[in-house]
Structure 1
Amino acid sequence: MQDQLKIALVQSDLVWEDPKENRSRFAEKIKAIDEVVDVIVLPEMFSTGFTMNAKAVAETMHGETVNWMKETALKTKAALMGSLVIEDNGKYYNRLLFVEPSGAITTYNKRHTFTLVGEEKTYTAGTEKVIVDYKDWKLCPLICYDLRFPVWARNTEDYEVLIYVANWPKPRIAAWDALLKARAIENMSYCIGVNRVGVDGVNIEYLGHSAVYDVLGACIAKTRPGKEQTAIVTLEKRHVTAYRNKFKFLNDRDTFTLE
Protein backbone atom coordinates (compact mmCIF):
# COMPACT_ATOMS: atom_id res chain seq x y z
CA MET A 1 0.00 0.00 0.00
CA GLN A 2 1.34 3.43 -0.96
CA ASP A 3 1.00 5.75 2.03
CA GLN A 4 2.11 8.91 0.23
CA LEU A 5 0.79 10.55 -2.92
CA LYS A 6 2.65 13.53 -4.37
CA ILE A 7 0.54 15.90 -6.46
CA ALA A 8 1.51 18.92 -8.59
CA LEU A 9 -1.04 21.72 -8.91
CA VAL A 10 -0.42 23.72 -12.11
CA GLN A 11 -1.98 27.16 -11.74
CA SER A 12 -1.74 28.86 -15.12
CA ASP A 13 -3.06 31.52 -17.42
CA LEU A 14 -4.83 30.10 -20.50
CA VAL A 15 -4.70 31.28 -24.12
CA TRP A 16 -8.25 31.79 -25.33
CA GLU A 17 -9.49 29.03 -27.63
CA ASP A 18 -5.97 27.98 -28.68
CA PRO A 19 -5.36 24.31 -27.79
CA LYS A 20 -2.00 24.13 -29.58
CA GLU A 21 -0.53 27.09 -27.71
CA ASN A 22 -1.92 25.91 -24.38
CA ARG A 23 -0.46 22.44 -24.89
CA SER A 24 2.90 24.02 -25.64
CA ARG A 25 2.81 26.20 -22.53
CA PHE A 26 1.74 23.36 -20.26
CA ALA A 27 4.47 21.17 -21.72
CA GLU A 28 7.03 23.75 -20.57
CA LYS A 29 5.47 24.03 -17.11
CA ILE A 30 5.38 20.27 -16.69
CA LYS A 31 8.96 19.95 -17.92
CA ALA A 32 9.99 22.42 -15.22
CA ILE A 33 8.68 20.20 -12.41
CA ASP A 34 11.91 19.03 -10.80
CA GLU A 35 10.44 16.45 -8.43
CA VAL A 36 9.00 13.01 -9.05
CA VAL A 37 5.23 13.34 -8.66
CA ASP A 38 2.35 10.89 -8.92
CA VAL A 39 -0.34 13.19 -10.31
CA ILE A 40 -0.26 16.47 -12.25
CA VAL A 41 -3.46 18.53 -12.12
CA LEU A 42 -4.34 21.16 -14.76
CA PRO A 43 -7.30 23.60 -14.63
CA GLU A 44 -10.76 23.22 -16.14
CA MET A 45 -10.84 23.54 -19.96
CA PHE A 46 -7.06 23.86 -19.84
CA SER A 47 -6.73 23.79 -23.64
CA THR A 48 -9.17 26.64 -24.41
CA GLY A 49 -10.38 28.56 -21.36
CA PHE A 50 -14.03 28.41 -20.28
CA THR A 51 -15.59 28.92 -23.70
CA MET A 52 -19.14 28.37 -24.89
CA ASN A 53 -17.86 28.20 -28.47
CA ALA A 54 -17.73 24.41 -28.31
CA LYS A 55 -18.18 23.74 -32.01
CA ALA A 56 -15.04 25.70 -32.88
CA VAL A 57 -12.70 24.08 -30.35
CA ALA A 58 -14.10 20.64 -29.54
CA GLU A 59 -11.88 17.60 -29.96
CA THR A 60 -12.63 13.91 -29.87
CA MET A 61 -11.21 11.29 -27.53
CA HIS A 62 -8.74 10.53 -30.33
CA GLY A 63 -7.77 14.17 -30.85
CA GLU A 64 -4.48 15.98 -30.41
CA THR A 65 -5.01 17.09 -26.80
CA VAL A 66 -5.95 13.63 -25.56
CA ASN A 67 -2.95 12.18 -27.40
CA TRP A 68 -0.76 14.87 -25.85
CA MET A 69 -2.05 13.95 -22.39
CA LYS A 70 -1.21 10.29 -23.00
CA GLU A 71 2.26 11.12 -24.27
CA THR A 72 2.90 13.46 -21.33
CA ALA A 73 1.74 10.93 -18.75
CA LEU A 74 3.97 8.29 -20.30
CA LYS A 75 6.98 10.63 -20.46
CA THR A 76 6.63 11.94 -16.89
CA LYS A 77 5.46 8.64 -15.39
CA ALA A 78 2.75 10.67 -13.67
CA ALA A 79 -1.01 10.66 -14.14
CA LEU A 80 -2.24 13.84 -15.85
CA MET A 81 -5.67 15.31 -15.25
CA GLY A 82 -7.70 18.30 -16.37
CA SER A 83 -10.88 19.00 -18.34
CA LEU A 84 -11.35 19.96 -21.97
CA VAL A 85 -14.11 20.33 -24.57
CA ILE A 86 -14.96 16.92 -26.03
CA GLU A 87 -17.40 16.04 -28.80
CA ASP A 88 -18.86 12.57 -28.38
CA ASN A 89 -21.72 11.16 -30.47
CA GLY A 90 -22.81 14.61 -31.60
CA LYS A 91 -22.85 16.08 -28.09
CA TYR A 92 -20.40 18.42 -26.37
CA TYR A 93 -19.06 17.73 -22.89
CA ASN A 94 -16.93 19.58 -20.36
CA ARG A 95 -15.03 16.35 -19.73
CA LEU A 96 -12.32 15.69 -17.17
CA LEU A 97 -9.71 13.12 -18.14
CA PHE A 98 -7.49 11.23 -15.71
CA VAL A 99 -4.75 9.81 -17.91
CA GLU A 100 -2.35 7.25 -16.41
CA PRO A 101 1.18 6.57 -17.66
CA SER A 102 -0.08 3.20 -18.90
CA GLY A 103 -2.44 5.01 -21.27
CA ALA A 104 -5.53 4.07 -19.27
CA ILE A 105 -8.07 6.92 -19.20
CA THR A 106 -10.87 7.57 -16.72
CA THR A 107 -13.40 10.24 -17.71
CA TYR A 108 -15.87 12.37 -15.79
CA ASN A 109 -18.42 14.67 -17.43
CA LYS A 110 -19.23 17.81 -15.47
CA ARG A 111 -22.48 17.22 -13.60
CA HIS A 112 -23.49 20.80 -12.79
CA THR A 113 -23.43 23.02 -15.86
CA PHE A 114 -23.05 26.72 -15.07
CA THR A 115 -26.45 28.16 -15.99
CA LEU A 116 -25.40 31.73 -15.13
CA VAL A 117 -23.55 31.83 -18.47
CA GLY A 118 -25.68 29.26 -20.31
CA GLU A 119 -23.29 26.33 -20.13
CA GLU A 120 -26.29 23.98 -20.17
CA LYS A 121 -27.27 25.28 -23.62
CA THR A 122 -23.98 24.08 -25.10
CA TYR A 123 -22.75 21.20 -22.97
CA THR A 124 -24.50 18.00 -21.97
CA ALA A 125 -24.44 17.44 -18.21
CA GLY A 126 -22.86 14.30 -16.84
CA THR A 127 -24.85 11.77 -14.84
CA GLU A 128 -22.16 9.55 -13.30
CA LYS A 129 -19.95 10.22 -10.30
CA VAL A 130 -16.51 8.71 -10.82
CA ILE A 131 -13.94 7.37 -8.38
CA VAL A 132 -10.40 6.83 -9.65
CA ASP A 133 -8.37 4.05 -8.05
CA TYR A 134 -4.72 4.99 -8.46
CA LYS A 135 -1.69 3.77 -6.53
CA ASP A 136 -3.88 2.42 -3.71
CA TRP A 137 -5.64 5.78 -3.36
CA LYS A 138 -9.25 6.63 -4.15
CA LEU A 139 -9.64 9.99 -5.90
CA CYS A 140 -12.89 11.81 -6.66
CA PRO A 141 -12.50 14.22 -9.61
CA LEU A 142 -15.03 17.05 -10.02
CA ILE A 143 -15.25 20.27 -12.02
CA CYS A 144 -15.66 23.91 -10.92
CA TYR A 145 -19.41 24.59 -10.35
CA ASP A 146 -19.75 21.10 -8.85
CA LEU A 147 -18.06 22.64 -5.79
CA ARG A 148 -21.30 24.41 -4.82
CA PHE A 149 -23.21 21.14 -4.48
CA PRO A 150 -22.14 19.09 -1.45
CA VAL A 151 -24.57 16.23 -2.05
CA TRP A 152 -22.77 15.30 -5.28
CA ALA A 153 -19.39 15.24 -3.53
CA ARG A 154 -20.70 13.36 -0.49
CA ASN A 155 -18.16 10.75 0.52
CA THR A 156 -20.08 7.48 0.34
CA GLU A 157 -17.18 5.73 -1.44
CA ASP A 158 -14.55 6.38 1.27
CA TYR A 159 -12.32 8.26 -1.15
CA GLU A 160 -9.24 9.94 0.33
CA VAL A 161 -8.85 12.84 -2.10
CA LEU A 162 -11.42 15.19 -3.64
CA ILE A 163 -10.07 17.18 -6.60
CA TYR A 164 -11.71 20.16 -8.30
CA VAL A 165 -10.38 21.66 -11.55
CA ALA A 166 -11.78 25.11 -12.24
CA ASN A 167 -12.13 28.43 -14.02
CA TRP A 168 -13.51 30.16 -10.90
CA PRO A 169 -13.69 33.95 -11.36
CA LYS A 170 -12.33 36.72 -9.14
CA PRO A 171 -15.67 38.19 -7.93
CA ARG A 172 -16.62 34.91 -6.18
CA ILE A 173 -13.18 33.77 -5.04
CA ALA A 174 -14.18 33.97 -1.36
CA ALA A 175 -16.77 31.27 -2.02
CA TRP A 176 -14.09 29.11 -3.68
CA ASP A 177 -11.87 29.38 -0.61
CA ALA A 178 -14.69 28.64 1.82
CA LEU A 179 -16.23 25.75 -0.10
CA LEU A 180 -12.95 23.92 -0.70
CA LYS A 181 -12.33 23.97 3.04
CA ALA A 182 -15.90 22.88 3.79
CA ARG A 183 -15.74 19.96 1.35
CA ALA A 184 -12.57 18.71 3.06
CA ILE A 185 -14.10 18.91 6.53
CA GLU A 186 -17.48 17.36 5.76
CA ASN A 187 -16.01 14.49 3.74
CA MET A 188 -12.99 13.88 5.98
CA SER A 189 -10.78 13.83 2.91
CA TYR A 190 -8.05 15.92 1.39
CA CYS A 191 -9.61 18.52 -0.88
CA ILE A 192 -7.65 20.03 -3.76
CA GLY A 193 -8.69 22.91 -5.99
CA VAL A 194 -6.75 23.91 -9.12
CA ASN A 195 -7.92 27.19 -10.63
CA ARG A 196 -6.62 29.31 -13.50
CA VAL A 197 -5.30 32.88 -13.43
CA GLY A 198 -5.40 35.72 -15.95
CA VAL A 199 -8.18 37.27 -18.03
CA ASP A 200 -10.14 35.21 -20.54
CA GLY A 201 -11.60 36.00 -23.96
CA VAL A 202 -14.80 37.47 -22.53
CA ASN A 203 -12.88 39.70 -20.10
CA ILE A 204 -13.41 37.64 -16.94
CA GLU A 205 -10.53 37.74 -14.45
CA TYR A 206 -9.27 34.81 -12.40
CA LEU A 207 -7.06 34.86 -9.29
CA GLY A 208 -6.19 31.20 -8.90
CA HIS A 209 -6.19 30.53 -5.14
CA SER A 210 -5.33 26.90 -5.91
CA ALA A 211 -5.04 25.08 -2.60
CA VAL A 212 -4.97 21.84 -0.66
CA TYR A 213 -6.88 21.24 2.59
CA ASP A 214 -6.50 18.29 4.93
CA VAL A 215 -9.30 16.30 6.59
CA LEU A 216 -9.69 18.83 9.41
CA GLY A 217 -9.80 21.79 7.02
CA ALA A 218 -6.24 23.02 7.56
CA CYS A 219 -4.70 24.58 4.46
CA ILE A 220 -1.47 22.69 3.76
CA ALA A 221 -0.60 24.28 0.41
CA LYS A 222 -1.68 27.43 -1.42
CA THR A 223 -0.49 29.24 -4.53
CA ARG A 224 0.22 32.95 -4.89
CA PRO A 225 -2.95 34.84 -5.93
CA GLY A 226 -2.99 35.92 -9.56
CA LYS A 227 0.38 34.33 -10.40
CA GLU A 228 1.31 31.37 -12.52
CA GLN A 229 2.76 28.78 -10.19
CA THR A 230 3.16 25.05 -9.77
CA ALA A 231 2.70 23.90 -6.18
CA ILE A 232 3.67 20.40 -5.06
CA VAL A 233 2.15 18.70 -2.03
CA THR A 234 2.63 15.28 -0.47
CA LEU A 235 -0.52 13.65 0.89
CA GLU A 236 -0.34 10.96 3.58
CA LYS A 237 -2.94 8.24 3.84
CA ARG A 238 -2.19 7.72 7.54
CA HIS A 239 -3.41 11.27 8.15
CA VAL A 240 -6.80 10.35 6.68
CA THR A 241 -6.98 6.99 8.43
CA ALA A 242 -5.95 8.30 11.84
CA TYR A 243 -8.58 11.03 12.00
CA ARG A 244 -11.35 8.89 10.51
CA ASN A 245 -10.63 6.21 13.09
CA LYS A 246 -10.42 8.77 15.90
CA PHE A 247 -13.56 10.77 15.18
CA LYS A 248 -15.67 8.43 13.03
CA PHE A 249 -17.75 11.37 11.76
CA LEU A 250 -18.51 9.60 8.46
CA ASN A 251 -20.26 6.83 10.38
CA ASP A 252 -22.98 9.31 11.31
CA ARG A 253 -23.88 10.31 7.75
CA ASP A 254 -27.53 10.60 6.83
CA THR A 255 -28.75 7.95 4.41
CA PHE A 256 -30.39 9.06 1.17
CA THR A 257 -30.17 8.55 -2.57
CA LEU A 258 -30.05 10.91 -5.54
CA GLU A 259 -32.80 10.73 -8.15
Structure 2
Amino acid sequence: MWTEGQDTCISLGVMVCVVLLTGMARVLVRRHTRSTFIRVFVAELLATFQLCCCSHELQVLNELRPDTPSWTLTVIYFLSLVHGLTLVGAVSNPCGVLEQLALEQMPVWLGFLKIFAQMFSSGLSRTFMVWVWSLGISSRHFAERSIKCASPIHIALPEAFLVEMLCSFIFHSTVMHFQEVRLKFRIHMQAALITFLVFAGGNLTGAIFNPALALSLHLQCFHELFYNYLIVYCLAPSLGIMLMVLMFIHFLPWLHNMNRIHKNE
Protein backbone atom coordinates (compact mmCIF):
# COMPACT_ATOMS: atom_id res chain seq x y z
CA MET A 1 0.00 0.00 0.00
CA TRP A 2 1.54 3.24 -1.19
CA THR A 3 1.61 6.25 1.11
CA GLU A 4 1.50 9.90 0.04
CA GLY A 5 5.08 10.38 1.27
CA GLN A 6 6.35 7.46 -0.81
CA ASP A 7 4.55 8.70 -3.92
CA THR A 8 6.02 12.16 -3.41
CA CYS A 9 9.55 10.77 -3.07
CA ILE A 10 9.07 8.66 -6.20
CA SER A 11 7.89 11.66 -8.24
CA LEU A 12 10.82 13.75 -7.04
CA GLY A 13 13.13 10.84 -7.83
CA VAL A 14 11.77 10.61 -11.38
CA MET A 15 12.56 14.31 -11.90
CA VAL A 16 16.08 13.88 -10.55
CA CYS A 17 16.67 10.87 -12.82
CA VAL A 18 15.46 12.82 -15.87
CA VAL A 19 17.82 15.71 -15.06
CA LEU A 20 20.76 13.30 -14.58
CA LEU A 21 19.89 11.38 -17.75
CA THR A 22 19.77 14.50 -19.91
CA GLY A 23 22.91 15.84 -18.23
CA MET A 24 24.89 12.70 -19.10
CA ALA A 25 23.55 12.84 -22.67
CA ARG A 26 24.78 16.45 -23.00
CA VAL A 27 28.25 15.49 -21.82
CA LEU A 28 28.45 12.60 -24.29
CA VAL A 29 27.33 14.77 -27.19
CA ARG A 30 29.86 17.51 -26.37
CA ARG A 31 32.70 15.00 -26.13
CA HIS A 32 31.94 12.96 -29.24
CA THR A 33 30.28 15.40 -31.64
CA ARG A 34 31.92 18.35 -33.38
CA SER A 35 29.11 19.15 -35.82
CA THR A 36 27.43 22.45 -34.89
CA PHE A 37 24.24 21.30 -36.57
CA ILE A 38 24.00 18.16 -34.43
CA ARG A 39 25.00 19.97 -31.25
CA VAL A 40 22.30 22.62 -31.67
CA PHE A 41 19.65 20.04 -32.49
CA VAL A 42 20.54 17.76 -29.58
CA ALA A 43 20.84 20.67 -27.13
CA GLU A 44 17.28 21.81 -27.90
CA LEU A 45 15.97 18.26 -27.92
CA LEU A 46 17.45 17.45 -24.51
CA ALA A 47 16.45 20.80 -22.99
CA THR A 48 12.84 20.43 -24.10
CA PHE A 49 12.83 16.77 -23.08
CA GLN A 50 13.97 17.66 -19.56
CA LEU A 51 11.47 20.52 -19.25
CA CYS A 52 8.51 18.47 -20.50
CA CYS A 53 9.28 15.32 -18.51
CA CYS A 54 9.68 17.24 -15.26
CA SER A 55 6.45 19.14 -15.98
CA HIS A 56 4.60 15.87 -16.57
CA GLU A 57 5.78 14.54 -13.24
CA LEU A 58 5.03 17.87 -11.60
CA GLN A 59 1.37 17.35 -12.52
CA VAL A 60 1.50 14.00 -10.73
CA LEU A 61 3.07 15.68 -7.72
CA ASN A 62 0.40 18.37 -7.70
CA GLU A 63 -2.32 15.69 -7.52
CA LEU A 64 -0.70 14.24 -4.42
CA ARG A 65 -1.01 17.51 -2.49
CA PRO A 66 -3.88 19.50 -4.01
CA ASP A 67 -4.57 21.27 -0.69
CA THR A 68 -1.03 22.64 -0.36
CA PRO A 69 -0.32 24.76 -3.44
CA SER A 70 2.68 26.33 -1.71
CA TRP A 71 4.42 22.94 -1.90
CA THR A 72 3.92 22.76 -5.68
CA LEU A 73 5.08 26.36 -6.12
CA THR A 74 8.22 25.58 -4.11
CA VAL A 75 8.99 22.63 -6.38
CA ILE A 76 8.35 24.82 -9.45
CA TYR A 77 10.83 27.38 -8.14
CA PHE A 78 13.58 24.84 -7.57
CA LEU A 79 12.87 23.09 -10.88
CA SER A 80 13.16 26.45 -12.62
CA LEU A 81 16.53 26.95 -10.94
CA VAL A 82 17.70 23.54 -12.15
CA HIS A 83 16.52 24.25 -15.69
CA GLY A 84 18.19 27.66 -15.61
CA LEU A 85 21.50 26.09 -14.60
CA THR A 86 21.42 23.08 -16.93
CA LEU A 87 19.72 24.44 -20.05
CA VAL A 88 22.29 27.16 -20.78
CA GLY A 89 22.56 27.65 -24.55
CA ALA A 90 19.13 26.17 -25.31
CA VAL A 91 15.77 27.92 -25.57
CA SER A 92 13.31 25.00 -25.08
CA ASN A 93 10.44 27.29 -26.13
CA PRO A 94 9.34 28.04 -29.73
CA CYS A 95 8.29 31.53 -28.60
CA GLY A 96 11.84 32.22 -27.43
CA VAL A 97 13.07 31.21 -30.88
CA LEU A 98 10.53 33.56 -32.49
CA GLU A 99 11.85 36.35 -30.29
CA GLN A 100 15.43 35.74 -31.39
CA LEU A 101 14.35 35.56 -35.04
CA ALA A 102 12.41 38.82 -34.71
CA LEU A 103 15.48 40.48 -33.16
CA GLU A 104 17.68 38.96 -35.90
CA GLN A 105 19.82 37.19 -33.32
CA MET A 106 19.99 33.95 -35.31
CA PRO A 107 19.62 32.85 -38.95
CA VAL A 108 16.24 31.56 -40.08
CA TRP A 109 17.48 28.03 -40.75
CA LEU A 110 18.78 27.77 -37.18
CA GLY A 111 15.44 28.96 -35.83
CA PHE A 112 13.54 26.32 -37.76
CA LEU A 113 16.01 23.67 -36.61
CA LYS A 114 15.48 24.62 -32.98
CA ILE A 115 11.68 24.66 -33.29
CA PHE A 116 11.70 21.27 -35.03
CA ALA A 117 13.88 19.82 -32.25
CA GLN A 118 11.56 21.26 -29.60
CA MET A 119 8.36 19.94 -31.17
CA PHE A 120 9.91 16.52 -31.80
CA SER A 121 11.14 16.40 -28.21
CA SER A 122 7.68 17.34 -26.87
CA GLY A 123 6.27 14.14 -28.37
CA LEU A 124 9.31 12.10 -27.32
CA SER A 125 9.02 13.26 -23.72
CA ARG A 126 5.33 12.38 -23.60
CA THR A 127 6.04 8.88 -24.92
CA PHE A 128 8.84 8.44 -22.40
CA MET A 129 6.66 9.51 -19.46
CA VAL A 130 3.82 7.21 -20.55
CA TRP A 131 6.36 4.37 -20.45
CA VAL A 132 7.56 5.45 -16.98
CA TRP A 133 3.96 5.61 -15.72
CA SER A 134 3.20 2.17 -17.18
CA LEU A 135 5.83 0.69 -14.82
CA GLY A 136 3.48 1.44 -11.91
CA ILE A 137 6.22 2.41 -9.46
CA SER A 138 3.80 4.81 -7.75
CA SER A 139 0.08 4.67 -7.02
CA ARG A 140 -0.29 7.70 -9.31
CA HIS A 141 1.66 6.10 -12.15
CA PHE A 142 -0.53 4.42 -14.74
CA ALA A 143 -0.45 4.63 -18.54
CA GLU A 144 -4.11 5.67 -18.72
CA ARG A 145 -3.09 9.14 -17.50
CA SER A 146 -2.26 10.06 -21.10
CA ILE A 147 -5.63 8.98 -22.54
CA LYS A 148 -7.96 11.52 -20.94
CA CYS A 149 -7.96 15.26 -21.54
CA ALA A 150 -7.41 17.05 -18.22
CA SER A 151 -8.06 20.56 -19.49
CA PRO A 152 -6.22 23.34 -17.63
CA ILE A 153 -8.48 26.01 -19.16
CA HIS A 154 -11.03 27.10 -16.56
CA ILE A 155 -12.12 30.42 -18.07
CA ALA A 156 -13.65 31.61 -21.34
CA LEU A 157 -11.53 31.32 -24.48
CA PRO A 158 -10.90 35.09 -24.95
CA GLU A 159 -9.81 35.43 -21.32
CA ALA A 160 -7.57 32.36 -21.60
CA PHE A 161 -6.01 33.89 -24.72
CA LEU A 162 -5.24 37.10 -22.81
CA VAL A 163 -3.75 35.23 -19.83
CA GLU A 164 -1.31 33.23 -21.95
CA MET A 165 -0.43 36.27 -24.06
CA LEU A 166 0.29 38.39 -20.97
CA CYS A 167 2.33 35.62 -19.33
CA SER A 168 4.47 35.33 -22.46
CA PHE A 169 4.81 39.11 -22.77
CA ILE A 170 5.79 39.61 -19.12
CA PHE A 171 8.23 36.70 -18.96
CA HIS A 172 10.12 37.34 -22.20
CA SER A 173 10.25 41.12 -21.79
CA THR A 174 11.65 40.71 -18.26
CA VAL A 175 14.25 38.18 -19.41
CA MET A 176 15.26 40.45 -22.30
CA HIS A 177 15.88 43.39 -19.97
CA PHE A 178 17.94 41.35 -17.49
CA GLN A 179 20.28 39.62 -19.94
CA GLU A 180 23.27 41.56 -18.62
CA VAL A 181 22.67 40.42 -15.03
CA ARG A 182 25.09 37.78 -13.78
CA LEU A 183 23.84 34.22 -14.30
CA LYS A 184 23.70 33.29 -10.60
CA PHE A 185 21.32 36.20 -9.97
CA ARG A 186 19.43 35.95 -13.26
CA ILE A 187 18.34 32.35 -12.77
CA HIS A 188 16.83 33.20 -9.39
CA MET A 189 14.98 36.12 -10.95
CA GLN A 190 13.64 33.91 -13.74
CA ALA A 191 12.65 31.16 -11.31
CA ALA A 192 10.81 33.65 -9.09
CA LEU A 193 9.05 35.14 -12.12
CA ILE A 194 7.95 31.75 -13.43
CA THR A 195 6.68 30.80 -9.97
CA PHE A 196 4.74 34.05 -9.71
CA LEU A 197 3.17 33.62 -13.17
CA VAL A 198 2.13 30.05 -12.33
CA PHE A 199 0.68 31.29 -9.05
CA ALA A 200 -1.24 34.08 -10.83
CA GLY A 201 -2.43 32.19 -13.90
CA GLY A 202 -2.04 28.51 -13.06
CA ASN A 203 -5.66 28.08 -11.96
CA LEU A 204 -6.89 29.85 -15.10
CA THR A 205 -4.90 28.31 -17.97
CA GLY A 206 -1.96 26.57 -16.37
CA ALA A 207 0.27 29.56 -17.27
CA ILE A 208 2.27 27.47 -19.75
CA PHE A 209 3.19 30.10 -22.42
CA ASN A 210 5.23 27.47 -24.27
CA PRO A 211 3.66 25.71 -27.31
CA ALA A 212 6.01 22.71 -27.13
CA LEU A 213 5.33 22.18 -23.43
CA ALA A 214 1.57 22.63 -23.93
CA LEU A 215 1.55 20.07 -26.73
CA SER A 216 3.43 17.55 -24.61
CA LEU A 217 1.27 18.04 -21.50
CA HIS A 218 -2.11 18.23 -23.24
CA LEU A 219 -1.80 16.33 -26.51
CA GLN A 220 -5.16 14.64 -26.01
CA CYS A 221 -6.83 18.02 -25.50
CA PHE A 222 -5.29 19.25 -28.75
CA HIS A 223 -6.94 16.27 -30.45
CA GLU A 224 -10.36 17.00 -28.99
CA LEU A 225 -10.34 20.83 -29.07
CA PHE A 226 -7.60 21.59 -31.57
CA TYR A 227 -8.52 25.15 -32.53
CA ASN A 228 -9.14 26.25 -28.93
CA TYR A 229 -5.77 24.95 -27.80
CA LEU A 230 -4.01 26.27 -30.90
CA ILE A 231 -5.34 29.75 -30.15
CA VAL A 232 -4.59 29.70 -26.41
CA TYR A 233 -1.26 27.87 -26.28
CA CYS A 234 0.32 28.66 -29.66
CA LEU A 235 -1.07 31.90 -31.05
CA ALA A 236 -1.45 33.74 -27.72
CA PRO A 237 2.18 33.37 -26.48
CA SER A 238 3.48 34.05 -30.00
CA LEU A 239 1.45 37.26 -30.13
CA GLY A 240 2.86 38.18 -26.72
CA ILE A 241 6.36 37.88 -28.21
CA MET A 242 5.46 40.02 -31.22
CA LEU A 243 3.91 42.71 -29.01
CA MET A 244 6.98 42.71 -26.80
CA VAL A 245 9.32 43.17 -29.79
CA LEU A 246 7.14 45.90 -31.30
CA MET A 247 6.90 47.80 -28.01
CA PHE A 248 10.48 47.65 -26.73
CA ILE A 249 12.41 47.50 -30.00
CA HIS A 250 10.33 49.72 -32.24
CA PHE A 251 7.62 51.80 -30.55
CA LEU A 252 9.38 52.99 -27.37
CA PRO A 253 12.66 53.91 -29.16
CA TRP A 254 10.62 55.74 -31.82
CA LEU A 255 8.67 57.60 -29.10
CA HIS A 256 11.92 58.50 -27.34
CA ASN A 257 13.40 59.89 -30.58
CA MET A 258 10.23 61.88 -31.27
CA ASN A 259 10.42 63.44 -27.80
CA ARG A 260 14.04 64.39 -28.35
CA ILE A 261 13.19 66.02 -31.68
CA HIS A 262 10.41 68.07 -30.09
CA LYS A 263 12.68 69.19 -27.24
CA ASN A 264 15.38 70.28 -29.70
CA GLU A 265 12.81 72.34 -31.60
Q: TM range, normalised to the smaller chain?
A: under 0.3
Q: Under a length normalisation based on structure 2, what TM-score does the superposition of the two structures give?
A: 0.23
Q: Quick one: higher RCO (CA 8 Å, sep 6+), 1 or 2? A: 2
Larger Rg: 2
- Point out the structure with the larger helix share: 2
Query: Which structure's residues are more often strand, by fraction?
Result: 1
TM-score by length of 1: 0.24
